């Protein structure tokens, strides 16, 4: 039998794991989806269009962040998490049932676009919400570790997604096998809904009493009182989105189309990187609780700035060993930034506006920067032949996040000194 804390962690992160498995399936299967839904284009342009729909899925995230942020702050974290996982399940099963371009022509990519937008809307309520929920349940000395479980679950979900895509990519699989990961993911979502029925609401939210009910315009209040905190959240989210979607998701397509690895090899290499992330994040969370989350976050950003060019350099060497080393390097700085990030962001906002304060800027930043990262990378490499472009983009995002955190700390210190 699981103890109470373990059960809470498992039930809280199960939705994140399943949602990220489903969300990453599309990215890892980009080449296959391009051939099925854009067969009238050559491989490079089909891949750009496929990543374009990947990016379009992020358009709904800001709206989702506003809706789920309001629900989470007014009606409870549990309510928002339940709705988000249900919507993700519906959108995912719909993708698995879609007819291809060969069957219905231009309507196929249009329907795919609608499903991806629904997925993006749903995802904006799960990732941050689950972290907030766990951190608000955790003891003061374990809050970085509590938040790290959600990031670890997201990485584990990407591993699961990669393994499912790898399995259906074998030549002996039937032509319709690409649908199986989506069907499995949708079924798992509804299992997650069932498991969440009996978990208790966040004690910090319950302690607000009727205060949360009177919070009618969280966005207006946030823009007035928490502008700097929202800016920090946006820059950190931009870095994490760019880093993960370029150095792992896009890196898979880079290995296939530029370095000429087989799809099976490239997906397994990416899965290896995400497996290291899933295993390493809780360890980094525990270390962050001892030495300080902000310090670890800043060190991770410095490391990612220099690591990104090395990751792509190692990938270009066209050996499995160096590609695996590239993903190990990616994993190191992913764990250092992802483990403490949620507890750091939680401390920036009061409980009554925390869900909205994190979800809105995070979702907006992911829509602008995270969702577009693969298509920008493919355009830089595939069209401009600028192989170093994606790595430079990652480094610039890390520097920007670093400056935002340091600037905010200096501004707070000056205000404290002036008072």
Average pLDDT, the chain: 85
Asked if 406 contacts 400 with a C-beta cutoff of 8 angstroms, the reply is no
Query: What's residue 216's pLDDT?
Result: 56
**Cα end-to-end span (Å), the chain:** 53
Residue 152 pLDDT > 60: yes
Query: What's residue 418's pLDDT?
Result: 47
Give the chain's length: 419
What's this model's pTM, rounded to 2 decimal places? 0.83
Query: What's residue 331's pLDDT?
Result: 97
Rounded Cα gap, residues 124 and 121, in angstroms: 6
What is the per-residue burial (b if ≥16 Cβ within 10 Å, else e) of 283-319?
Answer: ebbebbbeeebeebbbebbebbbebbeebbebbbeee
Rounded Cα gap, residues 281 and 153, in angstroms: 9
Sign (positive or negative) of CA dihedral 58, 59, 64, 66: positive
- The more confidently predicted of residues 185 and 275 is 275
**Cα 196 to Cα 111, 193, 379, distances in angstroms:** 30, 5, 42
Asked if 18 contacts 10 with a C-beta cutoff of 8 angstroms, the reply is no
Residue 211 pLDDT > 70: no
DSSP letters for 24-69: HHHHHTHHHHHHHH-TTS-HHHHHHHHHHHHHHTTTTHHHHHHHHH
Taking residues 301-321, report their average pLDDT: 95
State how far Cα 314 lies from the chain centre: 24
Rounded Cα gap, residues 272 and 280, in angstroms: 12
pLDDT in tens, 54-110: 778 788 888 888 888 888 888 888 888 888 888 888 888 888 899 999 899 889 989
Sign (positive or negative) of CA dihedral 99, 101, 103, 106: positive
Query: What's residue 123's pLDDT?
Result: 80
* Most trustworthy range by pLDDT among 124-128, 261-265, 289-293, 380-384: 289-293
Residue 419 pLDDT > 60: no
State how far Cα 237 lies from the chain centre: 9
Task: Please tell me what DSSP assigns to residue 247.
Answer: I
Query: What's residue 398's pLDDT?
Result: 97
- The more confidently predicted of residues 315 and 32 is 315
State how far Cα 43 lies from the chain centre: 26
């Amino acid at each position: 039998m699981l103890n109470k804390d373990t059960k809470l962690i498992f039930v809280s992160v199960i939705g994140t794991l399943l949602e990220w498995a489903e969300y990453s399936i599309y990215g890892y299967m980009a080449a296959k989806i391009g051939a099925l839904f854009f067969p009238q284009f050559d491989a490079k342009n089909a891949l750009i269009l496929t990543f374009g729909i990947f990016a379009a899925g992020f358009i709904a995230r800001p709206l989702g962040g506003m809706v789920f942020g309001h629900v989470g702050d007014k009606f409870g974290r549990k309510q928002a998490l339940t709705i988000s996982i249900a919507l993700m399940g519906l959108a995912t099963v719909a993708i698995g049932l879609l007819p291809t371009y060969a069957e219905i022509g231009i309507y196929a990519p249009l329907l795919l676009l609608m499903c991806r937008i629904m997925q993006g809307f749903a995802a904006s309520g799960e990732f941050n919400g689950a972290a907030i929920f766990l951190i608000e349940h955790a003891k003061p000395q374990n809050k970085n570790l509590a938040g790290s479980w959600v990031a670890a679950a997201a990485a584990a979900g990407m591993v699961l997604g990669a393994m499912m895509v790898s399995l259906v990519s074998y030549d002996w699989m039937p032509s319709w096998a690409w649908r199986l990961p989506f069907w499995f993911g949708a079924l798992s979502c509804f299992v997650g809904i069932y498991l969440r029925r009996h978990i208790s609401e966040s004690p910090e939210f319950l302690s607000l009493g009727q205060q949360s009910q009177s919070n009618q315009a969280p966005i207006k209040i946030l823009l007035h009182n928490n502008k700097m905190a929202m800016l920090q959240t946006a820059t950190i989210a931009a870095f994490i989105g760019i880093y993960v979607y370029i150095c792992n998701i896009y890196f898979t397509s880079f290995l296939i189309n530029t370095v000429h690895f087989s799809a099976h090899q490239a997906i397994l290499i990416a899965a290896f990187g995400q497996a290291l992330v899933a295993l390493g994040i809780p360890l980094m969370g525990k270390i962050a609780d001892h030495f300080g989350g902000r310090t670890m976050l800043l060190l991770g950003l410095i490391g990612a700035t220099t690591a990104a060019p090395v990751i792509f350099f190692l990938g270009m060497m066209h050996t499995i060993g160096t590609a695996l080393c590239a993903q190990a390097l990616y994993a190191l700085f992913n764990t250092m930034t992802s483990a403490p990030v949620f507890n750091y962001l939680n401390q920036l906002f009061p409980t009554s506006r925390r869900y909205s304060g994190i979800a809105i800027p995070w979702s907006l930043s992911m829509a602008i920067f995270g969702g577009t990262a693969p298509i920008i990378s493919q355009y830089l490499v595939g069209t401009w032949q600028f192989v170093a472009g994606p790595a430079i983009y990652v480094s610039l995002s890390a520097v920007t996040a670093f400056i935002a955190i340091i600037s905010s700390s200096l501004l707070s210190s000056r205000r404290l000194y002036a008072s």
